[in-house]
Structure 1
Amino acid sequence: MGLLVSTVVLIVGAMFSIVANRRWLPRLSINYVSMLIGAGIAIIPFLNGLIERFDSEIFIGLIVAPLLYFEGQNTRLNLVGKHVGEIISLTVGMVTLCAVFAGVGGHLLTGVGLPLAFILAAISTPTDATATESVTMGLILPHREKISLKLESLFNDASGIILLNMAILWYVNGYINYPQTLWNFVYSAGGGIVFGGVVSVLIVYIRQLMLRSKLNFINNTYNNGTPLKVVYLMTPFILYFGAEKVGVSGIIAVVFAGLVHNAEGDRSTLANPQLASDIGQLVGLLSDILNSIVFIILGIMLVRITMDRSVNYNGSLLWITMGVILYLANLLIRYVYVRLFHKVSNRESWIFALGGIHGAVTFALAFTVAETQVKTADFNLVLMSESLLIILSLLVPTILFRFLLPRVKVDADANAKMAIIRQKMIDTGIEELWSMPISQEFKEAITFDLRSQNGHTTVRQFFMEWKRIVKHDEYTPEQVHELMSIYRQVFQTERDYLLKRYEVHHEINEDLFNVLYREITMAEIVVLRYGVDR
């Protein structure tokens, strides 16, 4: 029951953060808004009491895993193939150097034992592509660095986990088993790729069989394919928990499966357009909600850690020094590595180094230390140091990127032109509607719908329409047929207007044409579905 209540509160918080971002704080990244909402929840005792204690396994398995799956699905497998050498270099070579440099540096500068220093260093290596978007909002990230940061963040989590396991065994046993560590890495990462590849191909095969089954999943636009949607939504959870059960990397498994399913989506869209559209909407909804929840939880936990007097390192402020060392070590190694080994320019090297933002996975890994034989005081040091690392990795690039990156140019004229063209397009449709020999009732009802395309209807007008439709008798099949015919003719008139503006008069560019044409098509799909459902 507690988990259900926590989920509801987090979802409501995510919804509120999205609304607040769009309505009041459009210039602030949604991730920062979500963190502020999370901090607010933690400060209010009643709301804080509704949120269950943080569980890293649930957090990674139920929130991070689907986000990584969706991120992988937005990445072409061909792109990964072209950059496989770079991926290995960044996620193995660079991550290892970051861990070594941060671990040794932390040990020498603070006196913390080497095993504990390497635990801290290992946790500091995973980066978060979603978090990167929060510090580049409104700015143009160079294409090469954008791809490198995205590919790195998809695959470096496994390296961090393996290094963390090695450091914990070192802490507990007092020595490092290098052959075992190397084998664990190969088995975990390689096994995750194999498991994710085999299982995802099997799931693709099953989905394609279901999609083409004439018995239960007829291939037409009006079959919503609910069983296929369920299979799709269950895929990241099956892959993550299945991979973890056999001892391989669940994170690598879901990422690789997402890459495999990217190609499936490209070649299955028209097999059932309704299904493809619905899945796209589901992915958008879940991505927004889960991403917001990640940062709400981060805000909650940062406040809880700050307010919890039991979380301290023997009354010392060593955690501040260690957090700064971890951040600077990762920053400098990232810069030097890509500068020397990838032959990147000075400016782009700094952009890549600063773009390595730490977020959800780093935080979750810090909490997994509590489940090991690490001492409570040492765990507190890990928790506080990694929290500071996350904050620094967000704040520093947020400031410096304002000087390093060009701003996105907002074309106010283009937005104004779109509004004008849309209004003229709607007016043309309304003129065509009122020239038809149809009933006054149909003219007024459809006019209301057409004006809604531009948001030019009031709440009062809506309730008047609502009152009319509630009192109205159900339409006869003949009336529904006539209504659908009118809508088709009106939408075609709007299309013709757009095509003339684009192809004949060249008043609008292709991007603007595609946006408005898509609006008409979506409106027609929604309206015509009413006729089919009747």
Structure 2
Amino acid sequence: MEIITIVLLLLVAVIVSGIASRIVPLPLPRPLFQIALGAAIGLVANWRVELDPEIFFLLFLPPLLFLDGWRIPREELFKDGKTVLELALGLVIFTVLGMGLFIHWMIPSMPLAVAFALAAVISPTDPIAVSAIAQRVPIPKRMMHILEGESLLNDASGLVCLRFAVAAALTGAFSIQTAALNFLWVAIGGIAVGVGVTWAVARTKNWVSRQYGEDGGAQVLISLLIPFGSYLVAEHLHCSGILAAVAAGITMGFVETRGEVAAATRIRRTGIWDTIQFTANGIIFVLLGEQLPAILAGATNTVRLTGHHEPWWLAIYVVAINLGLAALRFLWVWLSFRLTLFRSGEWRKQPNWRVVAAMSFAGVRGAITLAGVLTLPLAMADGSAFPARDLAIFLAMGVIIVSLFVATVGLPLLLHGLTMPQEGSQLAQEDKARVIAAQAAIAAVEKAEHAMADGKDDADIYVAAAARIMDSYRLRIESREGDAPERKSRRHIERIEIELRLAALKAERTAIFRLVRKRELGSEVARKLVRELDLLETRYAG
């Protein structure tokens, strides 16, 4: 009963934090509200959430990484693929090595393997936190795509590095050759498992749907199980479950381009996944805040692990680690931009320091860092306590909070008036796609109309109905073709029509609810009508 109460309280805290982030006029991202609310709960409540690290990893990471891979713009990811790989792989290894040595030098009492493990968990960035900041201060699209691609891959690479560091801490031995071969097996095997499981499940469910019809609820449930299945299969084969979840998400994006899922199922599935993403990320940050009071209360004992007695030394270490992360990231991004300019033949041109600084400030740590650090083992193989675990958790949490505050303050200043390189317009592609789709629709309506009216006495009715539908598609084609001024005028008219249609849909919905309140319309019919109006409003408002 207590577990259920705790879960419900965490869910309520996530809801309240979302409301507070919209009410409070300060430009603070939602994760900071969730951390603060969790800390308040930790101060007044007499319970503590203690999750087994493996269970915590399994519950939260596979769905979040799967969804990131599923929804990331694949074209943008491949367009800036070199930059993304340089940040997601090169920067992670650079950060793990540099920060691991720096942390061990700064805190000699922390074993080198544990220092590398801490460096591995603080190396991945969190796009959710950056997106929350971007709601108040718009981040250029291309920069956001690079950050999303980086976070998608560096989550996996950082956590794989964590796995090796923990293994070294537990066994006391580390071989570069063995680690390299193991890394190849872990990485390639994890990717293969994610692709294979998703492809096999998708082919099977599509065959079943074609043969026996589609069950929307089952389709949604299958999409929820794929990341967990990929993760568990990969871990059973001693591969990377994290990479399997990421690969499964990217593969899901390709599989979905076949368009074999019903529209209603897609709408329902999108809403469910949005809720899962909001809830899982929110709970992680609330849990972070909930554990802060206990961790701060134990700061006196934790600081003794470093050889000091004053708790304020921990704050110095947190600031120093954040400065080290920022310096390494700034250096790597600058070198990456210089390499890009060199490849393009502009080797004399210097990178824009504001762009480099903005990319550095955007390296916010969040849910993945917290989830990773909480998976540090509780005990060594001989049963003794894992060395400096509480200290590593404290420092990781401090890095998350400080990086959020720094990004909240620094990004708006750096992005104000910043001009990014001009991106190609996607309007022409959109217009071409809409014209081709409309032409295909006209051809399909003509074919269906001939088939339905063939041999029937009321064929004129079918012709008239088809004509009305085809006229709407011809109007779409005309609005996307012609001279630029003419298209601009037609789009202006379209915007006016959309506003009028939205007003009409809202009036329809209000009238339906009024009929329900007067008991002149049944609730079942009302739900059907309201859903139709909601779908139409989503179409026009989108």
What displacement does 1:211 show? 2.8
Provide Cα deviations, 1:341-385, integer angstroms capped at 9, x if missing partner: 332532211111111111122122222224342845611221111
Question: Match for residue 354 of structure 1?
Answer: 361
Q: Is the 8 A contact 1:105 1:325 kept in 2?
A: no
Provide Cα deviations, 1:134-181, integer angstroms capped at 9, x if missing partner: 333321223333222111111112322333333334444444311121
CA distance in 2, matches of 1:94, 1:428: 53
Matches within 5 A, 1:210-221: 210-213=208-211, 215-217=212-214
Q: 1:19 to 1:26 in 2, by over 3 A?
A: farther
What displacement does 1:197 show? 0.7
Q: 1:181 to 1:372 in 2, by over 3 A?
A: farther
Provide Cα deviations, 1:228-263, integer angstroms capped at 9, x if missing partner: 121112112112222222211112111111111113
Name the amino acid aligned to 1:10.
L
Name the amino acid aligned to 1:519.
E
Question: Match for residue 183 of structure 2?
Answer: 185
What displacement does 1:320 show? 3.0
- 2:227 matches 1:236: yes
Question: Match for residue 157 of structure 2?
Answer: 159
What displacement does 1:448 show? 7.2
- More deviation, 121-130/340-349: 340-349
Question: Match for residue 104 of structure 2?
Answer: 107
Q: Is the 8 A contact 1:311 1:380 kept in 2?
A: no
Q: 1:259 to 1:162 in 2, by over 3 A?
A: closer
Provide Cα deviations, 1:100-155, integer angstroms capped at 9, x if missing partner: 21122223334344334323222221221112223333212233332221111111
Question: Match for residue 282 of structure 1?
Answer: 272
Matches within 5 A, 1:481-492: none
Matches within 5 A, 1:81-96: 81-96=78-93
CA distance in 1, matches of 2:277, 2:355: 29
CA distance in 2, matches of 1:207, 1:137: 37
Matches within 5 A, 1:26-175: 27-46=27-46, 49=47, 52-112=49-109, 113-175=111-173
Question: Match for residue 21 of structure 2?
Answer: 21
Q: 1:190 to 1:86 in 2, by over 3 A?
A: farther
What displacement does 1:15 show? 2.1
What displacement does 1:334 show? 1.2
- 2:347 matches 1:327: no
CA distance in 1, matches of 2:411, 2:503: 44
Question: Match for residue 456 of structure 1?
Answer: none
Q: 1:209 to 1:3 in 2, by over 3 A?
A: farther
CA distance in 1, matches of 2:81, 2:499: 49
What displacement does 1:291 show? 2.2
- 2:289 matches 1:299: yes
C-alpha RMSD over aligned residues: 3.7
Question: Match for residue 11 of structure 1?
Answer: 11
Q: 1:166 to 1:24 in 2, by over 3 A?
A: closer
- 2:259 matches 1:268: yes
CA distance in 2, matches of 1:429, 1:67: 35
Name the amino acid aligned to 1:405.
L
CA distance in 2, matches of 1:518, 1:6: 39
What displacement does 1:306 show? 1.6
Provide Cα deviations, 1:322-342, integer angstroms capped at 9, x if missing partner: 323322222111111121133
Question: Match for residue 202 of structure 2?
Answer: 204
Q: 1:376 to 1:190 in 2, by over 3 A?
A: closer
What displacement does 1:420 show? 10
Q: Is the 8 A contact 1:39 1:299 kept in 2?
A: yes
CA distance in 2, matches of 1:3, 1:283: 24
Q: Is the 8 A contact 1:192 1:253 kept in 2?
A: yes
Question: Match for residue 382 of structure 1?
Answer: 392
Matches within 5 A, 1:517-528: 518-519=536-537
The match for 2:401 among 391, 394, 415 is 391
CA distance in 2, matches of 1:193, 1:386: 28
CA distance in 1, matches of 2:522, 2:172: 78
Question: Match for residue 401 of structure 1?
Answer: 411
Secondary structure of the equivalent of 1:312?
helix
Name the amino acid aligned to 1:119.
A
What displacement does 1:474 show? 6.3
Question: Match for residue 378 of structure 2?
Answer: 371
Q: Extract unaligned runs of 5+ from structure 1.
A: 218-223, 409-417, 431-446, 453-461, 492-515, 524-534
Name the amino acid aligned to 1:30.
R
Name the amino acid aligned to 1:140.
P
What displacement does 1:201 show? 0.7
Q: Is the 8 A contact 2:49 2:287 kept in 1?
A: no
CA distance in 2, matches of 1:484, 1:450: 14
CA distance in 2, matches of 1:39, 1:157: 26
* Percent of aligned positions that are identical: 24
Secondary structure of the equivalent of 1:369?
coil
CA distance in 2, matches of 1:106, 1:474: 67
Provide Cα deviations, 1:463-514, integer angstroms capped at 9, x if missing partner: x855531xx5969x9xx89x999x99xx8xxxxxxxxxxxxxxxxxxxxxxx
